[in-house]
Structure formats: C-alpha cells, structure tokens
Chains A and B, each alone.
Chain A
Amino acid sequence: MTQIEIKRGAPIGLRAVVFALAVLFSFPGIYLIWRNLTEDSDPISLIGTERILSPLWRSVSLALAVSATTAVVGTLLAWFTSRTDIYGCKVWKVLLPIPLVFPTFLGAAAFIRTMNPGGLANRFLSTLGVEQTIEMRGFFGAWLVLTLFCYPYVYLPVAARFRQLPRSLEESSRVLGQSPIKTFQKIVLPQAGPVIAAGTLIVFLYTISDFGAVQLMRYDTLTRSIFTAQLANQSVALALSLILLLLAGVIVLSERIFSRVAFKTDEVVMGKSLEYELGKWRTPAFIFTTFVSLLSIGAPLLAIGDWASDGIFRSTVGGRPLTIDREQVWESSWNTLSISVLAGIAAVLAVLPVAYIVAKYKSRIGSFSHAVVIATFALPGLLIALAMRFWTLRTDWAFDLLNNTKALLIFSYVVRFGSLAMGVVLLAVAAVPQRLQDAGRTLGVQRGSRFLRIDLPLMTPGLGAAAGLVILSTMKELPITLLISPLGFSTLATRIFSSFEDAFVAEAGIMALVLVLISFVLTWFLVIRKADHF
C-alpha cells in the first residue's frame, strides 16, 4: 500500500473555478467584515472581555463535549451497520440518519416533552411505579440532545468510508487471528480517522452555531449573546459573529493540517466489503444501537405522534378544527422535497471542484477555498440569510435577476450546507485510483473525458451520500427559507415553525411526521440503494 505521491500544480482553469467558488462561499464572511466596518463595531476591544469570554467558553466546552461523544457514537454505529453482522442491519441504515431531519427547535421541544418531568415517558413509567424526575437542562441537556441529533454528521460519512475501505489489510489481520475489536483499533480506525475528524469538525461547528436546542435546554452560549444583541446592540452582535467566524476558520485550518498528515488516498474496492461476526458482542451492539435510536428518534417521535394523533382525534369529535388541509400539506411537502433535492445536487456540484483540487493537486487556493466552505458552517442561518439579502441588494441587475427566485434560495442553501457535502465528496474524489488516471492518460484520453469516464462513475456513490446529507439538512432549514424564499413559498419546516410558535401542536406534529416520512424514503433511496452498488 505504500504509495509515493507527487502532487502537481493544478490546471489554471480549475484554479479559476475554485477561486470563483471561494468568492461565492465567502459572501457571508465579507458581509460580516463590511458590516463591522460600517457599523463601527469594535471586535478587537471585545476580545478578552467578560462579555465574550464566558459565553465563548460555554459554547466551546459544549462543542468539545458534543464532538467527543458524536465521534464515538457515530463511528461505532457506522461500523456496526456497514461492517458487522448486527441484527436488523437494513432497518438501522434507514433509521439512523433520521435525527438530522428534525428541526432543532421542534426536536428539542419534543424530546423535552417526552423525557422531562411530567412528560410522556415519565407518565408511562409512573404507572409502572418508577418515578423518574431527571430534568434535562443546561449543559447536560444541551449535550445530550445535540449528541443525539448530530451523530449522523459523523455516522453518514464514516459509514460511506467503511464501505469503500480496502479489504486486503483487514483480511490479513483476521487471518492472523486478531479479534474484531483489535482489527477495528489497529486497522479500521486509523484508515477512517480523517473522515471521523472531518465529521466531528462539522459537529463542532454546528454546535457552535446552534440556537434552537441550546435555547430550549436553557444553556447560555455565544449564539444566544448574538441573538439577543441583534436589535438592542447591533454592533456587538456583528462583532461577536465575526469572532465566531474567525474562531471557526482557525479550527478548520488546524484540522486540515492534522488531516493532511494522516490522509491517505485509498482506492475504491469493488465488490462487497467484509462482514465481521460480532460473536458475543452481537447483543451489546444491538442494545447500544437500539438505545441510541430510542432516544434520538423514538423520544421526539413519541411526542410528535402524540400531538398529531390528539389533534386529529379532537378535530373529528368536534374539538378545535385543524388549520391545515391536505392541499397545503401536499404543496409544502412538494416544495420541501423539490427544493432540497435541487440544493443537494447544487451543493455537490459546487464543492466538487474544490474537493478535486484539494485531493489531487497542491494548491493554496484549494486549501483556502476548503477552509472558507467549512468555516461558514459555524455561522447561524439567520446571518447567512441577511448576508444573501445584502448582496442581492448591492446591484440592481442582481436584484432584478435574483429577488424572489428559487435560484437565490438554492444558492443560499449551498453556502449554508456546502460544508456538509465537502467531507464526503473529498473522500469520494480521493478514492479514485491514480493509476486508472495514468492509464487513461497513456491511452491518450483527454482530461475532461477522463473525468467523465473514469472519475465520475467511481465517485457517484459518494456524491450521492454527500447530496443526502445536504438534502436532509435543507429539509429542516428555517431562517434562510423564511427570509430568502420567494413570497408565498412554504416548506414543511416553515409551516411547522408557524404552527408550533402558537401552540398549534397538532398541525406541527402532522407536518413533522410527513417530514420524517419523506426523509425515510429519501434515505432509502440515497443511502441504501446506493450502497448496494458498492
């Protein structure tokens, strides 16, 4: 497997494309810098003050804790479902990505509704004589709920990685009589390391940018400081946001250095990957997976289902009628599905050149663009929405062309979620064997043609998984959808928000169930069916 790799300089055309993409992706960052300058904010004077240090520390410590647990949980689940003989493997593959699709404000509220004192689980347990009174809140609550909702950011790319890892080393290891756990430690883990790190970085940045879950868990973070300062003290909010972005940039760059040291370009292995027999660990692995799913999917779904069924029941016996009809649900579902699929495709296409240049060439522009795409994920969606509005208003032609269009909405989604696609796309690109390329070149095939005929077919499964991550995230997206979409455009998430705000929980519950149902189908389509092609 030793491979001497000489990275060449990238072709000028590719560099130009990647540079253009970097500019597009840095719109929110440039907006923040511009606004900081025009509003006379003073981020430098804030650094080191109590106003930033304590919320920053709370954000960072939470993000570290959530990252650590999601790394472990996500990797274990990925290994169980893609490489072992765990019970119900196919079922888990459809179920495990689902937590991604709960809008956090609803998911966290539903989780609280089920788990907290007086909640559904509590009522059920007290009929059995068990009085559970743990109140999920603060650091613990935020850590738990974010771990449960964020592990798919690690799970999905790592599962994709495990499915394409070369078999030869593992097989020899097994022949030499190593236990599965030893093999996992010594061979699988080091090879999947960079992917785990990339997924964990996404979790870290997401946790820093999250507002919905930490707010409901009553854990005070930097995003809370930003949000409450928005109206009252805009310059402070802008300065805090810029500091958040810079922090993210530093973290992303250091992750790159770490990854570059460890990253190997491994080759795609066609055919079914090896399956371990878990043996005596089969039951514990099953219990662990069930436990995680019960908390992350079961607990919120219980409350959501309760809201929905109560509301439907009441409306049929003459209680408050539902305020939504079938047509609205259908329209929102269609909007949700179509816009998120388009955003998923667009995001993959947008990050593909960046991933390509990073994986195949030595390029400063490549590393810079990569950092910009990923660091942007630390910004709350509201800021991205405001930045996009800001840019379309700068020039008349951009305004005329883009205002009230789905194109602008999709572009905003791509900027918000491109980071999610990046890790998996990078993996897919890196996995294309260089020797196939070389063979193609020797045979006199043009570069473009080589890409279409050699690279693309080999990358397709990985690109599908990347699009899936973006699609599931777009389906629940809220602030950008509300502020950037064409007037009158509603998605399931915007209707859930509207209903939930005023305690129309039945309506919110019904639409959340539809959202979960759609994501089941999409997951099956993107993750399961695709996996069979490996």
Chain B
Amino acid sequence: MTTRIFLSTVLIASLLFGCGGGDPEFLDGRAAEIYSGECSGGNGNSVTIYSGRTENLINPVLEAFACETGTSVQVRWGSSIDLALLLNEEGSKTQADVFLSRSPGPVGYLESKDLLGQIGEDVLSLVDEQNHSATGTWIGFSGRKRVLVYNTDEFSPETLPDSVFDLTDPKFKGKVAIPGTNGSFVDWFTVFIDQYGEETATQWLNDMVDNDARYYPNNRSIVEAAGRGEISMGLVNHYYNYQEVAANPDTHKALNYSFNDNDIGSLLVITAATKLASSENAEAAEDLLAYLLTAPVQQYFTDRTFEYPLAAGVLPNAALPALTALEIGSVDFDKLGGGFEEASRIVEASGILNR
C-alpha cells in the first residue's frame, strides 16, 4: 500500500512541479562578471539555442544576455555532433534559432545540408574576415589552439620538437597520443590534407602509427592520461589542460607545448555560432550572436574558459600561448571534395584506432 502511495505522490508531484521563478533583479556568480547592472524586464523576444558548448562555461553568458536584453533564452545542451544530427532530422521544423558548435565539423555539416541562415553584415564585421564564413553562414566567437600536451616528469619543453612532423622521430616512439576519432582532430587533419596534400598527410599519419603512436578517444582523456603519466604527450586543443589544472592542481602533471607558429600543429580551431535558416526569431538570434562578441563576454571567454577572444580589441589572457597565423572555422563538406570524409577514411585506414 505504501508503495502505491509513494508512486502516486511521485506521479502527481512530477505533474505539478515545473520550472518556474522570475528573473532576479541582479545576476550573481560568474554571470555578474559579464553584466553587473540591473536586469531589464522581458522584451517579449525569445531565442532558442542548441548548444554544443557546455552549460558550465556558456550558461553565465546566456544568463547575462537574458538579464541585460530582456530576451528569454531556452537551451538544449548536448554534444555538437549529436545536436547537428538532430537539427538535420528536424529540418525546417526545428525550434532552434541558434546553434553553437564546439568544433568546425558540425557547422560544415549543417552548411552542406543548407540549414544555416545568413548572418547580417553588421554582426559579421565584429570579427576579422578570416573568422567568419565568406557566405555569412557562421561566425567565430572563440578560438582553441592545437598544442602538444606533455607530462612534465618525462619531458621538458627544450626536448620537444618544433613541428608536428618531427613527432615521427624514434625518440618519441610509443609516446604520442592521437585522438583519432575526435571531432576537432579530424577537422584539423582535414586542413592538414588540404594544405599538404593527401599523400603527405597519409604518410605522416602512417609514420605516426609505425612510431607506435597511441589512440585515445578525445582531448580530455589524453590530457587526463598525460597528467597521470600514462602517456607522455598528445595532440590536443589547448584549453583542456587549463581546466584540468584548475580541477586537480596538485596531482595533474601536464603542461601545454606550442609548436612553431607557422606549423600546422599550431592551428587555431574556431568555435562557431550559427543562425538556423528556419529561425522565426532572427532578430533575437542576431542580437545573441552580437552579444557573444561584446568585450565583457570575450573577456570572460579568455579569462574563465581560457580561450582566444576573436572580437577586435580584446587581448588573450596572458597565460595562453601566443596566437598563430593558421586558422580554421569550418570544414567544407562539399567543396573540399568531401575533405572531412576523406580525412575520416585516412584515419580509419591508418590503423591508429586499434593502437
């Protein structure tokens, strides 16, 4: 009997319980670092975001936007690839107005499906020309640099190479981790192929496999393993190590190392914001994209999430390695002759995924 009472209580309560509560007048926590003024009342606008960037890092920005502008914000969180697949499934019926991607691949995928809308010129002009798409379908709002994360007990910066090409040297045999199936690695490798040609790129990866490079599923697992000393070094995005150090300052024994500025191993990978073609809240969506590029938000990105700011006038946090010339914002699914697919195929054929 108690079972039934318990279950029906749960049932009823779940129907009654909803999300609720009005906006507080002032923000607190990290959102207040972005906007400390009084919240404006609702302006009747709303914007729905599918975010491949995670809640912990992006939510303060969205809270600040909602508070400052009075636009109500709804979010579906998830991995960028899953959300891109969902958007493709939803097509023009999606409720999403804005899609925030963690890496260029999903943006290129949605572009190839003609699902992205035009972003206005006044928003696009907030970043340098190379940080938005030529056709105006996406705009970069932060950057992550490809680096080599290394275990400090085993290597010092002087012993590390200038170029990613040198990692095939026997002295790094069995020491390098490669996140072969990770989105931003495949994006990076797609650019690698584009710049050096398929033959050179394939040769490099095969040499890495011959040099006993090890496969890990993603950036985060490499950074974590390098911090423990399970692996000596690995090719990752720069920013994971900062988060890992912040979380485990005493036990995490790994640091980032930058290859030479013009080396392909130092590519800057852009996280992009897009507006869906089917958006019925196009204006609020543009407002949000512009907001991501305001000085306080860009400052937040570089100070709190340790990323590179892309809007003019905001300097990268001093702790970050210097910026480089090479940048990538989207992977072209169609025009590079299926570059992304080609990259995936070469990665798979190299055998790295079984190492």
Whether, in the assembled complex, B207 has its beta carbon less than 8 Å from a beta carbon of chain A, the answer is: no
- Least CB distance, B278 to chain A, in whole angstroms: 12
Please state if B84 and A231 are interface contacts (CB–CB under 8 Å): yes
Whether, in the assembled complex, B118 has its beta carbon less than 8 Å from a beta carbon of chain A, the answer is: no
Please state if B13 and A385 are interface contacts (CB–CB under 8 Å): no
Whether, in the assembled complex, B175 has its beta carbon less than 8 Å from a beta carbon of chain A, the answer is: no
Identify which of B10, B90, B217, B229 contacts A393 (C-beta below 8 A).
Answer: B90
Beyond A231-B340, A389-B89, A393-B91, is A503–B243 a contact (Cβ under 8 Å)? yes
Please state if A487 and B86 are interface contacts (CB–CB under 8 Å): no
> Which of A8-16, A169-177, A212-220 contacts the other chain?
A212-220
Whether, in the assembled complex, A283 has its beta carbon less than 8 Å from a beta carbon of chain B, the answer is: no
Whether, in the assembled complex, A109 has its beta carbon less than 8 Å from a beta carbon of chain B, the answer is: yes
Please state if A323 and B30 are interface contacts (CB–CB under 8 Å): yes
B75: chain A residues at CB < 8 Å are 487-488
Complex Cα distance, B225 from A104, in Å, reads 18
Please state if B76 and A487 are interface contacts (CB–CB under 8 Å): yes
Whether, in the assembled complex, A178 has its beta carbon less than 8 Å from a beta carbon of chain B, the answer is: no
User: Which chain B residue shows the least CB distance to A229?
Assistant: B344
Identify which of A227, A229, A488, A501 contacts B74 (C-beta below 8 A).
Answer: A488
Beyond A215-B217, A220-B354, A232-B340, is A502–B181 a contact (Cβ under 8 Å)? no
Complex Cα distance, B246 from A232, in Å, reads 35
Whether, in the assembled complex, B348 has its beta carbon less than 8 Å from a beta carbon of chain A, the answer is: yes
Beyond A232-B344, A488-B74, A503-B220, is A319–B249 a contact (Cβ under 8 Å)? yes
Q: Which residues of A from 411 to 428 have beta carbons under 8 Å from B?
A: none
Whether, in the assembled complex, B228 has its beta carbon less than 8 Å from a beta carbon of chain A, the answer is: yes
- Least CB distance, A349 to chain B, in whole angstroms: 12
Please state if A488 and B19 are interface contacts (CB–CB under 8 Å): yes
Please state if A220 and B247 are interface contacts (CB–CB under 8 Å): no
Complex Cα distance, B79 from A479, in Å, reads 9
Total A residues in contact with B, Cβ cutoff 8 Å: 66
Whether, in the assembled complex, A440 has its beta carbon less than 8 Å from a beta carbon of chain B, the answer is: no
Complex Cα distance, B345 from A447, in Å, reads 60
Please state if B353 and A224 are interface contacts (CB–CB under 8 Å): yes
User: Which chain A residue shows the least CB distance to B229?
Assistant: A118
Whether, in the assembled complex, B54 has its beta carbon less than 8 Å from a beta carbon of chain A, the answer is: yes
**B interface, over-half SS:** helix
Complex Cα distance, B76 from A385, in Å, reads 14
- Least CB distance, A493 to chain B, in whole angstroms: 12
Identify which of A119, A231, A321, A490 contacts B109 (C-beta below 8 A).
Answer: A231
User: Which chain B residue shows the least CB distance to A118?
Assistant: B228
Please state if A117 and B54 are interface contacts (CB–CB under 8 Å): no
Whether, in the assembled complex, B93 has its beta carbon less than 8 Å from a beta carbon of chain A, the answer is: yes
Complex Cα distance, B215 from A113, in Å, reads 17
Beyond A386-B89, A483-B82, A498-B55, is A504–B340 a contact (Cβ under 8 Å)? no
Whether, in the assembled complex, B301 has its beta carbon less than 8 Å from a beta carbon of chain A, the answer is: no
Complex Cα distance, B246 from A113, in Å, reads 17
- Least CB distance, B319 to chain A, in whole angstroms: 14
Beyond A117-B228, A228-B181, A503-B244, is A220–B353 a contact (Cβ under 8 Å)? yes
Complex Cα distance, B216 from A387, in Å, reads 30
- Report the number of A-B residue pairs with Cβ-Cβ less than 8 Å: 161
- Least CB distance, B105 to chain A, in whole angstroms: 6
User: Which chain B residue shows the least CB distance to A135?
Assistant: B230
Please state if A342 and B228 are interface contacts (CB–CB under 8 Å): no
Complex Cα distance, B90 from A274, in Å, reads 57
Q: Which residues of A from 340 to 399 have beta carbons under 8 Å from B?
A: 341-342, 345, 382, 385-386, 389-390, 393, 399
> Which of A19-27, A148-156, A239-247, A331-339 contacts the other chain?
A331-339
* Per-residue contact bits, chain A 487-511, to B (CB 8 Å; 1 contact, 0 not): 1111000110011011111110000
Identify which of A232, A331, A338 contacts B14 (C-beta below 8 A).
Answer: A338
* Per-residue contact bits, chain B 254-298, to A (CB 8 Å; 1 contact, 0 not): 000000000000000000000000000000000000000000000
Beyond A118-B229, A345-B7, A503-B243, is A231–B105 a contact (Cβ under 8 Å)? yes
Q: Which residues of B from 61 to 86 have beta carbons under 8 Å from A?
A: 74-79, 81-86
User: Which chain A residue shows the least CB distance to B14?
Assistant: A338
Whether, in the assembled complex, B221 has its beta carbon less than 8 Å from a beta carbon of chain A, the answer is: yes
Please state if B221 and A109 are interface contacts (CB–CB under 8 Å): yes
User: Which chain B residue shows the least CB distance to A31?
Assistant: B89
User: Which chain A residue shows the least CB distance to B245?
Assistant: A503
* Per-residue contact bits, chain B 7-20, to A (CB 8 Å; 1 contact, 0 not): 10011011001010
Please state if A503 and B247 are interface contacts (CB–CB under 8 Å): yes
Complex Cα distance, B221 from A113, in Å, reads 10
B353: chain A residues at CB < 8 Å are 220, 224
Identify which of B56, B86, B221, B230 contacts A323 (C-beta below 8 A).
Answer: B56
Complex Cα distance, B17 from A272, in Å, reads 41
Complex Cα distance, B29 from A304, in Å, reads 25
- Least CB distance, B259 to chain A, in whole angstroms: 23
Beyond A135-B230, A488-B74, A502-B243, is A342–B14 a contact (Cβ under 8 Å)? yes
A479: chain B residues at CB < 8 Å are 78, 82
Please state if B341 and A233 are interface contacts (CB–CB under 8 Å): yes
Complex Cα distance, B76 from A498, in Å, reads 11
Complex Cα distance, B228 from A119, in Å, reads 7
Beyond A232-B344, A488-B19, A495-B55, is A505–B247 a contact (Cβ under 8 Å)? yes
A504: chain B residues at CB < 8 Å are 56, 243, 247
- Least CB distance, A373 to chain B, in whole angstroms: 23
A321: chain B residues at CB < 8 Å are 29
Please state if A228 and B243 are interface contacts (CB–CB under 8 Å): no
Please state if A341 and B230 are interface contacts (CB–CB under 8 Å): no
Please state if A232 and B341 are interface contacts (CB–CB under 8 Å): yes
* Per-residue contact bits, chain B 185-202, to A (CB 8 Å; 1 contact, 0 not): 010000000000000000
Whether, in the assembled complex, A131 has its beta carbon less than 8 Å from a beta carbon of chain B, the answer is: no
Identify which of A218, A224, A342 contacts B216 (C-beta below 8 A).
Answer: A218
Identify which of B54, B81, B217 contacts A499 (C-beta below 8 A).
Answer: B54
Beyond A338-B10, A483-B76, A503-B244, is A230–B81 a contact (Cβ under 8 Å)? yes
Complex Cα distance, B106 from A382, in Å, reads 16
- Least CB distance, A408 to chain B, in whole angstroms: 13
Please state if B13 and A338 are interface contacts (CB–CB under 8 Å): yes
- Least CB distance, A504 to chain B, in whole angstroms: 5
Whether, in the assembled complex, A186 has its beta carbon less than 8 Å from a beta carbon of chain B, the answer is: no
A482: chain B residues at CB < 8 Å are 76-79, 82
Beyond A118-B229, A119-B228, A483-B78, is A393–B54 a contact (Cβ under 8 Å)? no
A227: chain B residues at CB < 8 Å are 81, 181
Whether, in the assembled complex, A116 has its beta carbon less than 8 Å from a beta carbon of chain B, the answer is: yes
22 A-B pairs within 8 Å (CB atoms) are namely A116-B230, A117-B228, A117-B230, A118-B230, A216-B221, A228-B348, A232-B186, A232-B345, A319-B249, A323-B30, A339-B14, A342-B10, A382-B82, A393-B93, A464-B3, A479-B78, A488-B19, A489-B19, A499-B54, A502-B57, A504-B247, A505-B247
The 6 A-B residue pairs with the shortest CB-CB distance, nearest first, are A118-B228, A338-B14, A503-B243, A482-B78, A232-B341, A118-B229
Chain A residues in the interface with B (C-beta under 8 A): 109, 113, 116-119, 135, 215-216, 218, 220, 224-225, 227-233, 307, 310-311, 314, 319-321, 323, 331, 334, 337-339, 341-342, 345, 382, 385-386, 389-390, 393, 399, 403-404, 406, 464, 479, 482-483, 487-490, 494-495, 498-499, 501-507, 525
A109-B224, A116-B228, A499-B56 known; 15 new pairs, CB 8 Å cut-off, are A117-B228, A118-B228, A233-B344, A319-B249, A321-B29, A323-B30, A331-B19, A334-B17, A342-B14, A382-B82, A403-B95, A488-B75, A498-B77, A502-B220, A503-B244
